[in-house]
Structure 1
Amino acid sequence: MPLLRFDLIEGRTSSELKTLLDAAHRAVLAAFAVPERDRYQIVTEHRPSRMIVEDTGLGIARSDKVVVLEVISRKRKKKQKEAFYRLLCEELEKSCGIAPSDVMVTFVENNDEDWSFGHGKAQFLTGEL
């Protein structure tokens, strides 16, 4: 936890996707100090005509490498989120050649009772996590 949902324009190879997901996971580990195997990532690819990512009037140029990331998580501190935004852009640029202008992130926060990792239990509530 957190759960990362990536929306991408189709066309990346399996190797490129693995590199992208690994880079994002490094940012999660550094920003949120979660365990190494706390990794939940889902990729959805779209035809170019099915994904419009503009800039809210900020003058941010986008390319076909755009990454829209939804982070579903327990509440995180403002400083952790800011560190994640920065680290994610650094990792994606260094590892994948994705410009920071092509990275859009949104957080959806929830609570401990909103998570079940399997076996019909809420592990945050049972004390297993």
Structure 2
Amino acid sequence: MPLVRISLMQTTAHRAQEIGRCVYDAMRETIGIPEGDNFQVINHCGVGELVYDPTFLGIERTNEFMIIEITLGRGRETAVKQALFARITELLEARCQVRPDDVMIGLNEVGLDDMSLGQGRAQFVENPPARLLSLSDNGSS
């Protein structure tokens, strides 16, 4: 169910797809999304369209800076989120030579009733996967 939005400076289609693949692979490894649950929007930004502070909090950002926003189901523990952040940056560095300082990640957590995967229906309300039910049993949705 995650919806990923990646905003980065202009690059090749191949590189953009590989960056997206790194994010998808990291989500598969750390938060257990199922095979094929891959929905991404990759925005190529021109000069002045991706605004960031190059040294905020002592992090040295370059013109390779990117923002990764992930909307996903609510309920994951902090340690799992931290593992996701770490794995995304590890894969981006290893496969795409993206410096970890150039990767900003934001998670937007939503409930099962906050997403439609098509047909104007909230599929996870109608038929929630067992994995999502266990998250909602813990007081989350």
Answer yes or no: same fold by TM over 0.5: yes
**Following the alignment from structure 1 to structure 2, what is the Cα–Cα distance between the partners of residues 14 and 56?**
28
Native 8 Å contact 2:5 2:70 kept in 1: yes
User: Which residue of the partner structure matches residue 69 of structure 1?
Assistant: 68
* 1:67 aligned partner, one-letter code: M
**Following the alignment from structure 2 to structure 1, what is the Cα–Cα distance between the partners of residues 47 and 77?**
34
RMSD: 1.4
**Following the alignment from structure 1 to structure 2, what is the Cα–Cα distance between the partners of residues 128 and 85?**
26
* 2:64 aligned partner, one-letter code: K
User: Which residue of the partner structure matches residue 19 of structure 1?
Assistant: 18
User: Which residue of the partner structure matches residue 113 of structure 1?
Assistant: 113
User: Which residue of the partner structure matches residue 42 of structure 1?
Assistant: 41
**Following the alignment from structure 2 to structure 1, what is the Cα–Cα distance between the partners of residues 18 and 106?**
21
Native 8 Å contact 2:55 2:61 kept in 1: no
Unaligned runs of 5+ in 1: none
User: Which residue of the partner structure matches residue 94 of structure 1?
Assistant: 94
TM-score scaled by length of structure 2: 0.85
Inter-CA distance 128–70: structure 2 relative to 1 (3 Å threshold): same
* 1:127 aligned partner, one-letter code: N
TM-score scaled by length of structure 1: 0.92
**Following the alignment from structure 1 to structure 2, what is the Cα–Cα distance between the partners of residues 38 and 102?**
26
Unaligned runs of 5+ in 2: 130-141
